[in-house]
Amino acid sequence: MIQLTIKAVVLEKMREAFPKPPNCARNHLAKYKRVLEQKLTESLNKGQTEYERKMKFFSIPKDKLGAEGGQIGPNLIRVQAWLEQNNLSLLEDVEVGTNISGLVSVMRLTDLVTMTDDTSASHLKMKSAAELEDFLNVETETDKEFVNRLLPELAQLDDAQVLEKYHIAEIDIESVKSYIRWLLNEATLMTKQQIDTNLRHAQIILRVAQFTNGIFPQKMKPSFFGRTYYEGISVQGVHKTLRKAMLGNCYEYDIKSSAISWKMGFAKDCYAKMKTKGTFKQEFSAMLQYLERKDDFTKTVIAATFRANSNSKPDHQVKLVKEAITALSFGARLTVRGWKDDSGNWTNPAIVDILKNPDERKRFADSKLVVKFRDEQKALDTYISETGIKANPLLLTYKELQTKSGRTSKSKVVAYQYQHAETIVMDIVRKELGILQREVLANVHDAIVIRSKLSDYDREKIEYKMRDTTGIEYWRLGETKYERYEVVSDEVKHEEERHKQHIAAESERAKNYKSKNI
């Protein structure tokens, strides 16, 4: 994983300052080094922007690093503080975060320390085929120490206590190994940054599974808003390709257009209070089209947004439009430029980050269908927020649902209600799967993963239960098949290539034969 090499001058100066007991300086510097390696690993696990990668910046909670890095000497000065005071700091500030701002410090290593990352693509590609196989298959003491640091409390808990705090994912170890090989040799559509991040996550999952007989514990982290997240790396946070690799052959069932389906459950009551001459279908035509004829909706927006000479390929255009519509359904502003918030910080709306081309972004925002969709969202958000607060006035007192200026945020109130509703309906799904004796392999907010495919009858039965229990008639389950990653040997690849060349040669002969006889 991450390994730091500190220049000898640092230990020499620390020994001069703290000569007794004999190994005092060495031990305290080693502890600080271990903590710093851990914080750097956590920063890389979260992923870096391309700019951060180039500039070698890391997001590190400086206060936690100092507190966990230990104290030294009779006055118990923090090792980090002593290093800074003596111009021996291993880190320098780029942007200082504070508890008040809620931001993590952005830092970079000084010239007193060098970092080696043995999980990176560049490092792994230097290995021969045999060396890579040894790396993937042979667990070392260093790997064992890493796993123990990653899951320090696990050894102290019995099985019942583990299940209270952790969700357990069964890992297809051989599939993860094949995924790592695929990343190194065949992941041509990913950026270098994406490959390195996915490699890092895959190796952590692999090492943990190798030392735990094929399982990956995920510590639960309930959110105020209603969802259950996990601390650190989990099936929720990893790239979808890695999620498929770690779980192997199985099926994912997710709620189709979950947030929009939920909101439409309020549409008839909202319509009853609207002063309009339009019919229900007219007032909510865009959302109904999205739910009932999603492909037509997407094609219409794509046609309005992109030109024939667009740099975005058709598949990518579909992805961008779906992301932008999903952002709108979760309260994103339909604005083409950023703004300054109450604290003077510049904020970009989600649409700006998704549609980076300003002309395409403007055409998207001006699209009649998108504007209609946005207006319907606003009407429902207002209704859902107001009725939610009326039913539960305590929502007005929760700081988590307020803006920085102390006002109640309509979008946060809606998100709070939605995520609680999402948890309720997914609990219904899990209960019904339990009745069918289907084990849930993974939970990903509005989706679950099980080993084998549901019959049409069982899926329709679960959907009926979802709609009947919640009163929301738009719930539907989508199905995605996961397939494990498997190694294709060089011999098989060469044979496939020879076969393709043979077919091409035969086709050419057939063409020539026809032309001679015409």
Distances (CA, A) of 351 to 141, 302, 360, 454: 47, 15, 11, 36
Helix (H, G, I), strand (E, B) or coil at 105: strand
Predicted TM-score (pTM) of the model is: 0.80
- Cα–Cα distance measured from residue 380 to residue 382, given in angstroms and rounded to the nearest whole number: 5
C-alpha to C-alpha distances, 472 to 379, 415, 466, 476, nearest whole angstrom: 18, 17, 8, 10
Residue tagged 């123990």 (tokens): 148
Q: What does DSSP assign to residue 104?
A: P
Residues 6 or more apart whose CB falls under 8 angstroms from that of 111 comprise: none
SS3 annotation, 469-518: HHCCCCCCEEEEEECCCCCCCHHHHHHHHHHHHHHHHHHHHHHHHHHHCC
The pLDDT assigned to 98 comes to: 58
- Count other Cβ atoms within 10 Å, centred on residue 157: 15
Among residues 356, 366, 367, 248, the alpha carbon closest in space to that of 299 is found at 367
Q: Are strands 2-6 and 113-117 parallel, antiparallel or unpaired?
A: antiparallel
Q: Which residues contact 101 (CB under 8 A, 6 or more apart)?
A: none
Give me the residue label for tokens 């989600």. Answer: 350
- Give CA–CA dist 271/274, Å, rounded: 5
Q: Is 3 helix (H, G, I), strand (E, B) or coil?
A: strand
Q: How many CA atoms lie within 13 A of 180 on its CB side?
A: 28
Pair of tokens at residue 277? 């001459």
Per-residue pLDDT of the chain (518 residues; tens, 9 = 90+): 788 999 999 999 999 999 988 889 999 999 999 999 988 888 887 777 777 777 888 888 888 899 999 999 888 999 999 999 999 999 988 887 655 555 678 889 999 999 988 788 888 999 998 999 999 998 888 788 888 888 888 888 888 999 999 999 999 999 999 999 999 999 988 888 889 889 999 999 999 999 999 999 999 999 999 999 999 899 999 999 999 999 999 999 999 999 999 999 999 999 999 989 999 999 999 999 999 999 999 999 999 999 999 988 999 999 999 999 988 888 777 765 544 444 444 455 688 888 989 999 999 999 999 999 999 999 999 999 999 999 999 999 999 999 888 999 999 999 999 999 999 999 999 999 999 999 999 999 999 999 999 999 999 999 999 999 999 999 999 999 999 999 764 544 555 456 566 667 766 766 665 555 55
Collapsing DSSP to helix, strand or coil, 190 comes out as coil
The predicted pLDDT at position 343 comes to 43
Helix H or strand E encompassing 251: strand 250-255
- The answer to whether 286 and 304 have CB atoms below 8 angstroms apart is no
Residues 362, 352: Cα–Cα separation, whole Å: 10
Q: Which residues contact 157 (CB under 8 A, 6 or more apart)?
A: 165
Nearest Cα to Cα of residue 425 among 226, 152, 158, 191: 226
Instruction: Check if the beta carbon of residue 451 is closer than 8 Å to that of residue 459.
Output: no
Tokens of residue 509, six digits: 């002969």
Give the integer Cα–Cα distance in Å for 123 and 118.
6
Show the tokens assigned to 79. 């090792």
For residue 335, what pLDDT is reported? 67
Question: Which tokens go with 72?
Answer: 């030294």
CA–centroid distance for 506 within its chain: 48
The C-alpha atoms of residue 324 and residue 347 are separated, in whole angstroms, by 17
